Chains A and B, each alone.
Chain A
Amino acid sequence: MNVKYINPFISATINTFKGFLGADLKTEKPSLFDSNKSEIRYDISGIIGLAGEVRGAVVISFPKLVALKIVSDFLKEDIKIFGEDVIDTVGELVNIIAGNAKRDMEEFRIVISLPSVVKGPNHQISWMQGVPVILIPFKSNYGPVYLFVSLKDII
């Protein structure tokens, strides 16, 4: 996967957290993700499919406590239930990240899907075969935030 696909998503994630929550994210070193070897833990993922001249998926994942802290901060109330409000907010977050990243990839015509949200301890995501998945970890005051990008261009 071309590295030029990574930076728009890093910028969009940082800007989305700043605009959505006023929160600062610190980018850590991106790496090739292998679900069989990875030790990161997460409980909820927002998934957006990309189609058009670039195909693949963008996923943002959080441990449960991090997601609850983010949603509590956003809604300005103490959210303790890992339910609809969390699902809705995580879906909206990944939607905004994908939509904003498109601005820096205008050489390609890209269509984004409606977001899907998956919950469960260390759930598996089926990635497009033959396309590498890049993991971009971020540090935040809420705890770790994980962004996964797996894309290929078709033109």
Chain B
Amino acid sequence: MKILVVDDSRIMRNVLKNILKEKQIDENAILEAGNGVEALEMLKNNEVDLILLDWNMPKLNGIELVKIVRNHERLKEIPIIMVTSEAARYNVMEAIKAGVTDYIIKPIRGEIVHKKLEELLGQ
């Protein structure tokens, strides 16, 4: 199993990686990208089972990436959890409309991420 963590903040990627490791997810199973363009490259070269995705990022933001993934034959079924500070209801609706599977509002709480992982991956 591989999980792709996409966030332009290295600190936040580390926070998410540590939360995943608490769920006994192997460090080698966690891929990282600092923006949507890097994430697309990772997705091109790996079989990914879940994407944890920030919204506001340079080059290609989270919503733009969701739209690309959902229109891609091989990638379109990958669950995507948006992990973002964008807390307004209209943002949540926009993300759902774009095709996210679930939505977590920062600041991140480990138990919420763990619960979503259980729901989506049975992990």
Query: Which of B20-28, B41-49, B80-88, B95-103 is the contact stretch?
Result: B80-88
- Interface majority SS on B: helix, strand, loop or mixed? loop
B residues near A88, Cβ cutoff 8 Å: 9-11
- How far does the alpha carbon of A75 sit from the alpha carbon of B87 in the complex, in Å? 24
- Interface majority SS on A: helix, strand, loop or mixed? helix
Given contacts A88-B9, A114-B8, A114-B56, contact A100 B87 (CB under 8 A): yes
Chain A interface residue count, CB cutoff 8 Å, equals: 27
A100–B85 touching, CB < 8 Å: yes
Chain A residue with Cβ nearest B92: A103
B residues near A110, Cβ cutoff 8 Å: 88
Chain B residue with Cβ nearest A102: B88
B106 within 8 Å of A (CB atoms): yes
Chain A residue with Cβ nearest B86: A99
A6 within 8 Å of B (CB atoms): no
- How far does the alpha carbon of A91 sit from the alpha carbon of B57 in the complex, in Å? 12
- How far does the alpha carbon of A137 sit from the alpha carbon of B121 in the complex, in Å? 44
A residues near B10, Cβ cutoff 8 Å: 84, 88
Interface string of B86-123 (1 = CB under 8 A from A): 11111100000000000001110100000000000000
Chain B residue with Cβ nearest A103: B87
Contacts beyond the supplied A19-B109, A20-B107, A114-B56: 18 A-B pairs with Cβ under 8 Å? A15-B107, A74-B11, A85-B11, A88-B10, A92-B9, A92-B12, A95-B106, A96-B85, A96-B107, A98-B85, A99-B84, A99-B85, A99-B106, A100-B87, A100-B105, A100-B106, A102-B86, A112-B56
**11 A–B contacts from the bound complex (CB under 8 Å):** A19-B109, A20-B107, A74-B11, A91-B9, A92-B9, A96-B106, A99-B56, A99-B84, A99-B88, A102-B86, A106-B89
